[in-house]
Structures are given as C-alpha cells and as structure tokens.
C-alpha cells in the first residue's frame, strides 16, 4: 500500500501518543495500536519503510515504536 | 378463573392495557390511593386522574378533549362525574384521585348533561359519517353513540363551520376545519409531544379555530411529525393513506428503519398493504411519538424504482442482464472463487451497513470471515461513529452510550456537542426539549446555530460555544482546564472509580497554561469567559449529560474528542446513574447493532479482538473453520488497495460508498478498478452503477430481525408483507455462502439471534421470544441482567477502573489559506435521511428537494453572491456547484451543506483526511473557496451522463428514475 498514506496515518497516531509523558509507554501504545487496528499488509509496508528508508518522514516515536516493538 | 385475593395492605394495581386510551398520563407516584368508582374499589398511584383510575378499574368515562399522551385540559365537558360529598360535576380528567372518594360516572343527570354537550357538537358537524375517512375510527361518532344522542333539536341550519376549504398542502395528511371540534388536542400535541408550537387556537368563542400560524400546513412551522394527526379525535387531521385505503384491519409492531432513535411503530395493515404507521405507545425509545420520516416516509418500500430481479454483467459498460436468483448467486460465487485463486485470498472483502438488521450483519461478517477466509469486513460506522467505538472502549470499557433516552428527563444540564437533535434525532429531541422547557440548562458546542440554540419555542441555549470547525479537542482542553484549575473535579469519585495515575497525568496536562480558555480563545473563536462559565455549569449544575454526534467524530481527532468527553464525565462524576452520561447520537438505525455484530475488521461480535485466541477458538469451533487472527482492511484501506490494483472484489450489503464516502472520485476510481462489485440493495444506488452483480434486497417491512438503537436497545423488526424480491436479506447471504461451499442452516432470523446469543457474552439472554415478551431489551442482557441494562457503569466501569487519556490538541492539516479561505462543514436536515435513497423516493422532497450551500452574508457579499445563485465550491479534492442560501446561522469563514442528493457531490469536495485512530473521514472540515458560477461543475456533468447511461443499462428510464 502506498507508503505516503501510511506515513501520514502513522504520524497521526504518533501525534496522539506524543502527549504521554511516559515515553516508553507511548512507544508501546503506538506499536499496540498498529497491531490492533492495521492489517498486516499495511504494517509490513511501514516496517519495510523503517528498515529500508530509515523511516524517512515518520514521527521519531513511531520509528522507535516499530524498531522496539514490531518484529515482523 | 384464578382466585385473586385483595387486601387493603397489599393493594393490587389493575393491569395496564396499552391498546386502551386512559385519557390522562399515568402517574409514577409510589404512594397508592384507594377510591371507589361505580361501586368498585380501585387502587391507583397518587396523582392519577379519576378518568384514568376509572379506566384502570374497567369503567370508561366519555371524553373528547382528553387522551393519555397529553396533560388534561378539561374543555369538552363530557367526562363530568359526581363525587359523594362534593358539589357540582367535576371533570374526571382534571380531578385527581383521593383516598376514600366515592365516584359515580353514570347517573341520569350526567347522562342528560353529556347528551346536551354532544347535541351542541353535532349541530355544527357534517353528518357524512358513512363516507367520512374516520368512519369506524372516530371518537366523536363513538361518543354520540355512548351518550345515546338521538336527535339534534337545534337543527343544522344555524350559523356553523361546515363547508370550509380543506388544507391539503401537507403531502401526508389533510386538515378539514369543517370537522374540527376545537378540542385542542392537536395544539397540545404540537406543544407537549413534539415541542414545535406550530399550531394555535386562533380567535375566541364561535370564531375559535385551529391555525398553523395563518399559513397552510406545508409553509408553516409544522415539522409534519404527525402527533396532531394521531391526537385528533375526528377526521379533521387525517392521513391521506387512510383517506385512500380506508381503516386498517390488523397491526404488527415493528421498528423504524431511519435514525438511531429506533422508534417502535405499529404497522397498521390491510392485508399486505401498509395503511399507516403509528408510533407505539409502549415503544421504549419513543413512547408513542414519531417524526415525519418514520411515520410517513415509508413509501419508498413500494416505489417503482425498486429492483426486484437479480442482475449480472461482465463489465460496468455492459447492459445488465436480468437473471434468476440461482444464476446470480452462482455467478457471484464463481467470481469470488476466481478472484481469490488469481489474486490471493486477501483480494476480496465486504461492507455491511447500519441499515441492515443485526442478523444480516452477523451473517455477512460470518460469510467474510468464515467463507472468504479474511477479516476484510467493515461497515458504514467507519465513516460515522467508529471513533465512538474506539474512544469509549478505551476510557470506559464498552463501545456504547451509557444511558436510556428517558434519562434526559433527570438531567439538569444538557451539553450538546456536534449534534443537531431536532433534525438528526427528532423524537429524542422532543424529549430533550420537554426537559429544557422544564428548566434544564443547555450548552451547545457547534460551529453553526442549530435550532436548539434559539429557534425552538421556549428553548434557548444558556451558552452557544460557536467554535471554529476542527477545534473540538481544544474546546475540550479548555473546559477540562477550568474544571481542573477551579477545583471542580469530584476527586472522591475519581479515587473510587478511576485509575488514579491516569487521572493525575490528565489533570497535570489539563492544568497547563496553554490549555486555558484564554490561551485558546483565538484558536477556538469563542470568548474565554463563555467557555469558563459553560465549564462551571457542566461541572456544578447538577446532573449533567453529554450528547454528541458526527460533529465530534468526523474529524482527524474524532477519537481524541470522544476520549476527552469521557474524561469530562469521569472527572465530574457525571456517569453511572440516570440523568448523566456520555451519549453518542447514532446517525442510522442500526449503527450500534452493526458494530456490536462484529462488522469491524478487527473485532468479532461483542467487540472482541480477532487476535484474542480464546474468542477466536470459540468462533472456530462454532463455525467449523479456521479463522484469521490478522485485523482486516477498513473501507478506505480496501479502496486504496483497489486503486493500486490488489483488491479486486467487494460484497456491499445495503451500503452506498460511492455517495456516502469521502473523496468520491477516489471511491469511484477504486470501484472501477475492481473485477467484481456485488451490491445488495433496494435501488440502483450510486455504488450499484459500478457493480457487476446486483442482489435485490428487501425493505424493513419485508423481513424479520432486530435493530439496536443509540441506547443499546434491541428492538424487533417484523415482516408485515412478502418481500418483493422474493427473499429476506439474510437468506440471500446464506445462499451466497452455500454457493461458496459453506451452507448456513438457518430457518428463520431468530435462529441467527440464537447463534449470536450463544457466542456473545453481552447478548446471552437475548432471544426473539424474550423480545416478544419485553418489547425491547437494552444489552448487556445475560444472567446478571436478564431483562437488560438501561444504565451502564453503575457500580464500576466495564473495564474495571475508568481510564483518563491525555487529549492533546493537534490542529488538522486541512487548513485554510489564500486559495481555500473558507471551511466547509456538513450536516443533515429533518426531512431527508443520509444519502437520501429512501427519503428522496417519498413526498419528503416537498421540504428539501435540493442541497444548498449556506454562506454568511459577509462572505457572500465579498464574492457578489446573492440568494439562490449557483455557487462553485472548490477544495483540494474537487469541485461541485450548489445554490446559495445566505444566512448568519453559519459564522463568517464557514460554509455548510447537507449531503442528501447524489448530484450535489458534497463528497466530491471532502478530502481523504481521517481520524488518527479509526480512519473515520474528516467530513466536517474541508478548506474551500466559493465563487459565483453559471453552470454545473465538470464532475456534475460527467456524473449526470454516467448515471443516465447506467440507469439505461439496467433497463430503466433515466427520466423517471428518482435522482
């Protein structure tokens, strides 16, 4: 799926959890949200973007969440 | 007969019969009073009228101006009685019971007085009973009989009201003043039941007459709810369908197929023909009231545009081929098999609708999960209340509203945000307005001046926070800030009921200076002091209840606002009892139910995640298949993948994504890219114009099932006529499943509900049998709550402790700039429903035959736009043209339209922005420019030509099909 759209959606998720003062919890929540609501095709595309493009354009906390909590 | 023992210490309340008219409303008093009526002791609640008590005791007192939906009026003088020890002949409707009273309802003197009254009435009434539309259903006729009127000594030649012109302007009922007895029941129904105050008694004495404000009914303030027609004891106000067909001979109770109020109706029938729909007095949601849609706008069910024969075609440019059911179903099944073999299992999916019954949604998601083998099932709640499901589950633990509608009668403060109840949820609005007239305070948060603000008689908002579209979260932050920093939090409640750590984090966030009303004043466009005062009122004004709608959810931060609302309710202890709560007003009849039934791609019925092994194992065992643990695609994901070429087939039941979903051109492009679009609907809707298989569906009058309304009330939908298409919708889905090699063995919709109950913890106590007994049931209904749960989260939240969430305001990326300087927001109107496929095929078009663009006088003047001009509306997504309506209901910088007509193309301009958590589209905020134009947009011209061609390909005539 077009990665631009996924980046936009993932960044919106990142923006919501950004406000959580507990950084580690925020990252867990981001990863958990993706796993709960995104189809695996979408997650795979986003993970590949993090692995291959250093997550260009992605919210830093989303990148960290994917790196720490989404091992596909 | 049973041997019933009566004793004064345990008084027996006589049995209530909803088919009887008790003349005055029932009293809710717990104190019982015993009196004697015509020699029989009757025990009734204190506050009951003698008339009502008599009827309970089995004695009918003659009456004309009284009916039990209205407060007593005491004008007709027919219901007089004699009371031992009292002088004169008091009216039994206005005289309350008292202990030990001895009442006589029939004496020679009373008979004489009553005959005299009737004689006067009849001397000024046409004697055309045999040809009158009310013949057999006329209370005046009944009373003439009851009092034994045998002659009219005055003759009929004197000055009278006979022969006056009828007002037939309303498309659904006539007003014949010649037959009016000026009992005021219509006037009082308009005031008390509906709350519109459109009717008055004009003049005095002989000149008195019912008037719709000196206008004909259609042009008056009348909202055509029909309460007056129902209240009228004669043929003065009469349904046109009854005039045409005569009186009905049987009735079947069913549930309205329009909005999320879910009114109960008696379908009054002659054979298989509906003569009229009368709201049921026992309806848990509506208590005998209705709106113009439910009561009158059901003609679409038999409209000539209905398609009743299955159709197939290879390409959307081919003519449709009418075929038998087997051929259509086998073709659809072979296409699904071919596509899955060619492109993979995940290349197919399905979409259900909030217009489907619970049973239809259940079998559709079962088909997709168990037979297609994927979780790619979604529902139209995606584009309306998906943020409610997410937000309330996160904070409170259940994806549903917390109250009954009646709860509002115990509210002291009513907080309405992003909802327009008088148009979207009219019957609930009538209850709400009644409470407001009793003195409850009202806070409205809305960019537009909805009718509740200052356009409903005797109702006025104490605060209208007219915020800029897109700033809901900032508004919630500002209100939270005031509650936290002014010490208005109910900390005892929070300590006992909520996760304390989450509260502390939220409190510290809300208290930040940047969240103060002053800091956010410019962003919100609302004076800080108004926000402060409204927040204080909500937190300290007694029972405070929040009602919200799509103006909350359809934003890029829709889910955040829902969570913010739940935070407010928890912080102020406004949850867990009557009169308070968090109340999402659902747009369509079965939004709640379709979500409950597992039509979201990540959840099984009962909101249990597909990755939960225990739940999945339960369904795998029941269905005998292996199920996927991977959340499926949501509607926008399906469409995106279709545009990219990997999603190839969709089974769309009762939903019209080509009209209702945002960014129309993206949707239609996706549909064009698919190889098999299967549409199941009543009409050749917009999506069907891109379809390859058409399964004709059945209307709500033609099937059995249940709908679940905004208060979690499961109500029965009952078949009152044979399906014109030959099958109920669940049967079509079951046959489709069988053709794919997975037979579904249901003999009746009730068996589907039995399966739902067996597999869903919140539904274990639900069955059609229990629904027959109780009328309706609010889930959860199980061993702990065998008759249902009116109020949720009473002693603890469903998730255990309530959880606060930090709700940081993040402005939408859809911003105004020089090119697109205005914000377009959308809404609905009373007479039309959703995409209009139903209501446009009724006489409701008399009130709203086209969508208009509302524009503030300043913005209009700047652009040289006058009332009625064609206006082009251009966004980053597209352009459409509508006629202008100049009004200061909208604020400068904001324009507004409805979306009930496909050629309006409201969604051609909405963008693909969506809620961060659920992908619910941001319908409510689109940056646009508007300008005066001379012709329709290119999209509209293309649409017209494409649509006409498609109608021709289906064998119908574009000139006659409703657009």
Q: State whether B916 and A12 contact (CB < 8 Å).
A: yes
Q: What's the rounded Cα separation, in Å, for the pair B179 and B676?
A: 59
Distance CA B409, CA B411 (A): 6
Distance from CA of B560 to the nearest CA of A (A): 8
pLDDT of residue B756: 98
Asked if B675 reaches chain A (Cβ–Cβ under 8 Å), the answer is: no
Residue B159: how many other CB atoms lie within 10 Å? 6
- Alpha-carbon separation of residue B300 from B304, B698, B841 (angstroms): 8, 11, 5
What tens digit of pLDDT does each residue of B692-707 get? Answer: 999 999 999 999 999 9
Please confirm whether the linkage preceding B780 is cis (ω < 30° from 0).
yes
Same domain, B412 and B539: yes
Mark which residues 604-643 of B lie under 8 Å from A by CB. Answer: 609, 611, 630-633, 637, 640-641
Instruction: Determine whether the interchain pair A16/B916 forms a contact, defined as Cβ–Cβ distance below 8 Å.
Output: yes
Contact residues on chain B for A21, CB-CB shorter than 8 A: 505, 806
| pLDDT, tens digit, 9 for 90 and up, residues B324-350 | 999 999 999 999 999 999 999 999 999
**pLDDT band for position B158 (50/70/90)?**
confident
CA B607 to chain centre: 23
Q: At what angle do helices B472-485 and B500-510 cross, to 10 degrees?
A: 100
Instruction: Indicate which CATH number applies to the domain containing B370.
Output: 3.40.50.740
Residues B400 and B545 in one domain: yes
Q: How far is CA B636 from the centre of its chain?
A: 26
In a domain, B946, yes or no: yes
* Domain shared by B685 and B615, yes or no: yes
Specify the CATH number for the domain of residue B24. Answer: 3.10.20.740
Chain A residues in contact with B557 (beta carbon < 8 A): 16
Q: Give pLDDT, residue B13.
A: 63
pLDDT digits (tens, 9 = 90+) for B638-652: 999 999 999 999 999
Beta strands B209-211 and B237-239: pairing type?
Answer: unpaired
Looking at the fold, whether B636 and B726 belong to one and the same domain comes out as yes
**Contact at CB, B631 and A37, closer than 8 angstroms:** yes
Closest-CA distance, A57 to chain B, in angstroms, reads: 15
Render pLDDT for B737-782 as a digit per residue (tens, 0 to 9). Answer: 999 999 999 999 999 999 999 999 999 999 999 999 999 999 999 9
Option in A12, A20, A35 nearest B806 (CB): A20
Lowest mean pLDDT among B312-316, B711-715, B908-912: B908-912
Q: Are strands B209-211 and B200-202 parallel, antiparallel or unpaired?
A: antiparallel
Residues B531 and B665 in one domain: no
A16 chain-B contacts, CB cut-off 8 A: 557, 559-560, 808, 810, 916-917
Output the CA torsion B6→B8→B10→B13 (10° steps): 70
**Minimum CA–CA partner of B559 in chain A:** A16
- Report how far residue B683's alpha carbon sits from residue B193's, in angstroms, rounded to the nearest whole number: 35
Two structure tokens written together for B117: 């009254």
A39 with B632: Cβ contact below 8 A: yes
Residues B624 and B739 in one domain: yes
Distance from CA of B474 to the nearest CA of A (A): 13
pLDDT above 70 (res B929): yes
Contact state of B640 with A5 under an 8 Å Cβ cutoff: yes
Query: Which pLDDT band holds residue B542 (cuts at 50, 70, 90)?
Result: very high
B113 within a domain of the structure (yes/no): no
The pLDDT, as a whole number, for residue B12 is: 57
Instruction: Give the best residue of A39, A59, A61, A72 to mutate against chain B (max B CB count within 10 A).
Output: A39
pLDDT at residue B15, as a whole number: 77
Residue-range definition of the domain harbouring residue A62: 3-69
Determine the pLDDT at residue B2. Answer: 43
Specify whether B928 is located in the same domain as B848: yes
Whole-angstrom distance, CA of residue B894 vs CA of residue B860 = 11
CA distance B326 to chain A (A): 34
Residues B448 and B896: beta-carbon distance below 8 Å: yes
| Minimum CA–CA partner of B560 in chain A | A16
Note whether A5 contacts B918, CB cutoff 8 Å.
no
CA distance B340 to B162: 73
Interface contact A36-B806, CB threshold 8 A: no
pLDDT at residue B156, as a whole number: 85
ipTM over 0.90? The verdict is yes
Give per-residue burial for A32-56: e unless 16+ CB within 10 Å, then b.
Answer: ebbbebbbbbbbebbbebbeeeebe
B783 φ/ψ angles, rounded to the nearest 5 degrees: -60, -35
Is pLDDT of A65 > 50? yes
Distance between CA atoms of B182 and B160, rounded to whole angstroms?
Answer: 13
Task: Give the pLDDT mean for B215-232.
Answer: 97
Domain that holds residue B465: 386-584
Q: How confident is the model at residue B5 (pLDDT cuts 50, 70, 90)?
A: very low
Count of domains observed in chain A: 1
Q: State whether B87 and B50 are in the same domain.
A: yes
| Same-domain check for residues B493 and B623 | no
CATH of the domain at B533: 3.40.228.10
Asked if A42 lies within 8 A of B637 by C-beta distance, the reply is yes
- CATH code of residue B906: 2.40.40.20
Strand (E) positions, B374-460?
A: 377-379, 413-417, 441-445
B435 plus B469 within the same structural domain: yes
Q: Taking CB atoms and an 8 Å limit, are A2 and B644 in contact across chains?
A: yes
By the 10 Å C-beta count (0-12 exposed, 13-18 middle, 19+ buried), B127 is classed as exposed
Which residue in the set A1, A20, A35 is minimally distant from B640, CB to CB?
A1
A chain contacts of residue B555, beta-carbon cutoff 8 Å = none
Number of domain units in chain B? 4
Subunit contact B505:A21, Cβ cutoff 8 A = yes
Please tell me which residue of chain B has the smallest CA distance to A11: B916
Chain B contacts of A12, Cβ < 8 Å? 556, 810, 916
Same domain? For B95 and B28 the reply is: yes
Q: Report chain B's mean pLDDT, rounded to a whole number.
A: 95
Instruction: Give CA–CA dist A67/A69, Å, rounded.
Output: 6
Q: Are residues B604 and B736 in the same domain?
A: yes
Strands B870-875 and B926-932 turn out to be antiparallel
Helices B528-540, B472-485: inter-axial angle, 10-degree rounding:
60
Q: What is the pLDDT of residue B16?
A: 84
> What is the model's pLDDT at position B152?
93
On whether residue B732 sits in a domain, the answer given is yes
- A interface residues, B as partner, C-beta within 8 Å: 1-2, 5, 9, 12-13, 15-16, 18-22, 33, 35-42
Please indicate whether, in this complex, the C-beta atoms of B640 and A13 are within 8 angstroms of each other.
Answer: no
Contact B906, B667 (CB under 8 A): no
Q: Give the minimum alpha-carbon distance from B630 to chain A in angstroms, rounded to a whole number.
A: 6
């Amino acid at each position: 799926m077009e990665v631009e759209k996924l980046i936009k959606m993932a960044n919106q998720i990142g923006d919501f959890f950004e406000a959580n003062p507990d950084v580690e919890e925020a990252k867990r929540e981001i990863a958990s949200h993706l796993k709960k609501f995104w189809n695996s095709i979408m997650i795979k595309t986003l993970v590949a973007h993090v692995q291959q493009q250093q997550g260009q354009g992605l919210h830093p906390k989303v990148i960290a969440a994917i790196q720490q909590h989404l091992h596909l | 007969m049973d041997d019933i023992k009566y004793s004064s210490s345990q008084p027996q309340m006589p049995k209530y019969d909803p088919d009887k008219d008790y003349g005055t409303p029932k009293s809710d008093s717990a104190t019982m009073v015993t009196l004697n009526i015509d020699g029989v002791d009757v025990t009734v609640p204190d506050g009951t009228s003698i008339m009502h008590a008599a009827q309970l005791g089995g004695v009918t007192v003659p009456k004309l101006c009284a009916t039990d939906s209205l407060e007593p009026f005491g004008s007709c003088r027919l219901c007089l009685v004699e009371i031992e020890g009292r002088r004169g002949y008091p009216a039994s409707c206005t005289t309350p019971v008292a202990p030990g009273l001895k009442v006589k309802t029939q004496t020679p003197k009373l008979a004489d007085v009553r005959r005299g009254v009737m004689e006067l009435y009849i001397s000024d009434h046409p004697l055309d009973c045999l040809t009158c539309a009310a013949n057999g259903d006329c209370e005046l006729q009944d009373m003439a009989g009851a009092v034994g009127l045998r002659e009219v000594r005055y003759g009929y030649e004197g000055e009278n009201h006979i022969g006056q012109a009828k007002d037939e302007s309303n498309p659904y009922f006539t007003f014949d003043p010649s037959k009016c007895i000026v009992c005021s029941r219509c006037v009082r129904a308009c005031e008390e039941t509906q709350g519109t105050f459109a009717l008055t008694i004009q003049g005095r004495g002989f000149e008195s007459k019912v008037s719709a404000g000196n206008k004909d009914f259609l042009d008056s303030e009348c909202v055509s709810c029909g309460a007056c027609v129902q209240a009228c004891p004669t043929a003065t106000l009469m349904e046109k369908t009854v005039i045409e067909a005569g009186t009905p001979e049987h009735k079947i109770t069913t549930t309205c197929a329009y909005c999320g109020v879910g009114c109960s109706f008696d379908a009054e029938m002659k054979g298989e023909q509906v003569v009229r729909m009368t709201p049921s007095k026992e309806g848990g949601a509506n208590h005998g009231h209705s709106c113009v849609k439910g009561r009158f706008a059901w003609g679409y069910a038999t409209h000539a545009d209905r398609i009743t024969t299955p159709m197939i075609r290879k390409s959307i440019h081919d003519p449709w081929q009418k075929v038998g059911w087997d051929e259509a179903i086998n073709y659809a099944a072979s296409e699904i098999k071919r596509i899955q073999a060619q492109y993979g299992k995940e290349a197919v999916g399905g979409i259900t609708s909030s217009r489907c019954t619970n049973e239809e949604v259940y079998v559709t998601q079962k088909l997709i999960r168990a037979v297609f083998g994927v979780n790619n099932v979604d529902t139209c709640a995606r584009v309306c209340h998906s943020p409610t499901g997410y937000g309330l589950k996160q904070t409170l633990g259940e994806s549903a509203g917390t109250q009954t509608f009646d709860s509002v009668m115990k509210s002291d403060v009513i907080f309405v945000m992003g909802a327009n109840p008088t148009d979207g949820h009219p019957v609930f609005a009538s209850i709400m307005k009644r409470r407001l007239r009793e003195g409850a305070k009202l806070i409205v948060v809305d960019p537009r001046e909805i009718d509740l603000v200052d356009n409903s008689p005797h109702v006025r908002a104490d605060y209208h926070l007219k915020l800029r579209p897109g700033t809901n979260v900032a508004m919630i932050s500002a209100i939270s800030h005031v509650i936290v920093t002014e010490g208005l939090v109910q900390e005892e409640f929070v300590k006992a009921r909520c996760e304390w750590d989450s509260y502390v984090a939220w409190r510290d966030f809300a208290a930040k200076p940047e969240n103060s009303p002053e800091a956010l004043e410019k962003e919100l466009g609302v004076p800080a002091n108004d926000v402060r005062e409204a927040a204080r009122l909500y937190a300290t004004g007694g029972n405070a209840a929040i009602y919200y709608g799509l103006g909350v959810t359809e934003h890029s931060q829709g889910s955040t606002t829902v969570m913010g609302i739940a935070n407010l309710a928890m912080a102020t202890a406004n949850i867990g009892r009557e009169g308070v709560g968090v109340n999402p007003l659902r747009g369509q009849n079965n939004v709640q139910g379709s979500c409950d039934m597992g039509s979201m791609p990540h959840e099984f019925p009962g909101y249990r995640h597909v990755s939960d092994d225990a739940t999945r194992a339960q369904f795998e065992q029941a269905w005998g298949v292996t199920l996927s643990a991977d959340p499926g695609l949501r509607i926008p994901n399906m469409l995106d993948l279709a545009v990219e070429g990997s999603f190839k087939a969709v089974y769309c039941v009762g939903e019209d994504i080509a009209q209702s979903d945002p960014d129309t051109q993206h949707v239609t492009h996706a549909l064009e890219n698919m190889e098999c679009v299967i549409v199941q609907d009543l009409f050749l809707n917009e999506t069907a114009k891109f379809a390859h298989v058409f399964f004709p569906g059945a209307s709500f009058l033609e099937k059995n099932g249940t709908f679940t309304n905004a208060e979690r009330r499961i109500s029965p939908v009952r078949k009152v006529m044979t399906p014109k298409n030959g099958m109920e919708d669940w049967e079509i889905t079951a046959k489709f499943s069988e053709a794919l090699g997975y037979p579904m063995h249901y003999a009746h919709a009730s068996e589907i509900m039995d399966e739902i109950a067996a597999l869903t913890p919140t539904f274990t106590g639900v069955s059609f049998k229990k629904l027959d007994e109780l009328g309706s049931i609010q889930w959860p209904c199980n061993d702990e709550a065998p008759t249902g749960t009116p109020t949720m989260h009473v002693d603890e939240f469903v998730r255990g402790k309530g959880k606060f969430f930090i709700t940081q305001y993040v402005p939408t990326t859809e911003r105004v700039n020089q090119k697109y300087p205005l914000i377009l927001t959308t809404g609905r109107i009373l007479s039309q429903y959703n995409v209009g496929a139903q209501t446009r095929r009724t006489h409701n078009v008399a009130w709203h035959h086209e969508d208009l663009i509302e524009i503030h006088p300043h913005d209009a003047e700047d652009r040289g736009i006058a009332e009625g001009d064609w206006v082009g509306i251009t966004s980053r997504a597209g352009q459409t043209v509508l006629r202008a309506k100049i009004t200061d209901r909208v604020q400068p910088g904001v324009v507004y339209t409805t979306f009930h007509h496909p050629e309006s193309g409201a969604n051609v301009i909405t963008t693909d922005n969506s809620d961060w958590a659920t992908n619910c589209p941001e319908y409510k905020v689109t940056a646009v420019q508007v300008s005066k134009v001379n012709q329709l947009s290119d999209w509209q011209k293309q649409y017209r030509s494409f649509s006409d061609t498609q109608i021709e390909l289906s064998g119908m005539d574009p000139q006659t099909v409703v657009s």
